[in-house]
Amino acid sequence: MTALLRLRAAGLKLTAHGDTILVEPRSGLTDELRALIRANKQALLNELRAAAREPRIAQATRQLTEAPARRAAYIAGEETDGVVPVTVVIQTPDGLVTGDLAIPKERWDPWLFLKFLEEQDGWWPRTGLQ
């Protein structure tokens, strides 16, 4: 059983917040579970971040499916520690490509980002993709 499954089986909800793991309810933490978190912190953070990313990919992919003329879609996650996680899905001739950006909150402008994506509409020929 992975550390994350063990912690969830103990009734704990874990959330990645930057490089910190938030645990609810705190009253459910035992010394053994705290040690488990410390020993597996990076792996837990990786699993939690991946789990948070999946719904953003699904939502952006749905946007592309519903509007076939679109070539790219993005979903911004919840700002954490001054950084906005943005997942981008791009339709290429070979299928979908996904990527993640970590944009400082003070530089994040969703309208400007959308405008940038819309302006890139003709980028396939310039890059040699058809």
How do residues 20-74 score in pLDDT, each as one tens digit? 999 999 999 999 999 999 999 999 999 998 888 899 999 999 988 888 778 888 9
pLDDT, residue 80, reads 81
Rounded to two decimals, what is the model's pTM? 0.69
Q: Quote the percentage of the chain above a pLDDT of 90.
A: 46
Tell whether the model's pLDDT for residue 13 goes beyond 90: yes
Residues 6+ apart with CB under 8 A from 109: none
Q: Quote the percentage of the chain above a pLDDT of 70.
A: 92
pLDDT, residue 122, reads 54
Q: Which helix (H) or strand (E) holds 85?
A: strand 83-92
Q: Which residues of 58-73 are buried (b: 16+ CB within 10 A; e: fewer)?
A: eebbeebeeeeebbbb
> What phi-psi label fits residue 24: left (phi over 0), alpha (psi between -120 and 50 degrees) or beta?
beta
Instruction: Tell me the pLDDT of the chain averaged across its residues.
Output: 86
Structure tokens at 114: 């959308």
Tell whether the model's pLDDT for residue 127 goes beyond 60: no
Using alpha carbons, select from 55, 51, 112, 45 the residue that is nearest to residue 81. Answer: 45
Between 122 and 12, the higher pLDDT residue: 12
Range of lowest pLDDT (57-71, 82-96, 116-130): 116-130
Query: What is 30-64 written as a DSSP string?
Result: -HHHHHHHHHTHHHHHHHHHHHHHHHHHHHHHHHH
pLDDT, residue 39, reads 96
